[in-house]
Amino acid sequence: MKRLIAPSILAADFNNLGNAIQIINESEADFVHCDVMDGLFVPNISFGIPVVKQVSKIAKKPLDVHLMIVNPDKYIVPFKEAGASVITVHYETCDHLHRTIGHIKEQGIKASVCLNPHTPVSVLEDIIIELDMVLLMSVNPGFGGQKFIENTYKKVVDLRAMIDNKNPDCLIEVDGGVNYETGKSLFDKGANVLVAGSFVFGSNNPKETIAKLKSV
């Protein structure tokens, strides 16, 4: 099973963002995870289209853009044009999720849906065949550096069963509180992509941390 790493630049030093992208470029990371927050869906504001566009100019890994925003439909084309390879929208922000997923795929990029910690994986039963990836939040979205929510393990197991049954190519990504310990259990239970922010950029050697996380 695929084991991939998506470092989140939310935890990078924004005064040296280019340096953080360089580290990711030279590492075994598979994606650059970009956390976009609007201060409405989540209680924090991070960065948006202009920053993603600059990141894409120097990033050698595909951009995995996590939209924690209301009305994501409005921003699919701008983020695609800014360089996104994968766009993740939150289930909780989409009244017409099937249509939104269609819009993302029409742009020729990968479509992913994110579930908050309180949203059961069962809500994906009738959309899973359309998805390239599902992102499970293992913290409440809005901030880096939070404690991992243990119930996420059960959600990975449930989602793995659904995916194996209905759409085996779909990836399972997990976001929040990832470290060597939680990361190993997540991979062992069937996750494919681990997002890690503070654990990577708060470490002395981010490149080594990425490599070790990949092979826990």
Minimum CB distance to Zn ion smaller for 34 or for 124: 34
In the set 38, 64, 132, 175, the catalytic residue is 175
> Facing residues of 68 across strands?
37
Minimum CB distance to ligand DX5 smaller for 97 or for 136: 136
- State in angstroms the smallest separation of the CB of 211 from Zn ion: 21
Q: Which of 60, 1, 6, 32 is nearest to 193 (CA)?
A: 6
Tell me the residue type at 158: D
Q: Rg of the chain over CA atoms, in angstroms?
A: 16
Q: Across the chain, how many H-helices and E-strands are there?
A: 8, 8
The footprint of ligand DX5 (CB under 6 A) covers: 8, 10-11, 33, 35, 66, 139, 141-146, 175-178, 195-199
Known catalytic residue at 188: no
Which residues touch 127 (CB under 8 Å, ≥6 apart)?
Answer: 97, 98, 101, 113
In the set 35, 38, 64, 132, the catalytic residue is 35
Minimum CB distance to Zn ion smaller for 165 or for 179: 179
**Under the criterion CB under 5 A, does residue 64 sit at the interface with Zn ion?**
no
- State in angstroms the smallest separation of the CB of 165 from Zn ion: 27
Minimum CB distance to Zn ion smaller for 101 or for 193: 193
**Under the criterion CB under 5 A, does residue 90 sit at the interface with Zn ion?**
no
Query: Do 207 and 214 form a contact (C-beta atoms < 8 A)?
Result: no
Torsion of CA 84, 161, 70, 12, to 10 degrees: -50
Q: Which of 59, 153, 175, 177 binds Zn ion (CB under 5 A)?
A: 175
Known catalytic residue at 175: yes
**Under the criterion CB under 5 A, does residue 66 sit at the interface with Zn ion?**
yes
Which residues touch 169 (CB under 8 Å, ≥6 apart)?
Answer: 132
- State in angstroms the smallest separation of the CB of 215 from Zn ion: 22
- State in angstroms the smallest separation of the CB of 212 from ligand DX5: 15
Query: Do 66 and 33 form a contact (C-beta atoms < 8 A)?
Result: yes
Q: Which of 184, 187, 196 is nearest to 5 (CA)?
A: 196
Residue 132's binding partner out of Zn ion, ligand DX5, none, with CB under 5 to 8 Å set by partner kind: none
Catalytic residues: 35, 175
Interaction site with Zn ion (CB under 5 A): 35, 66, 175
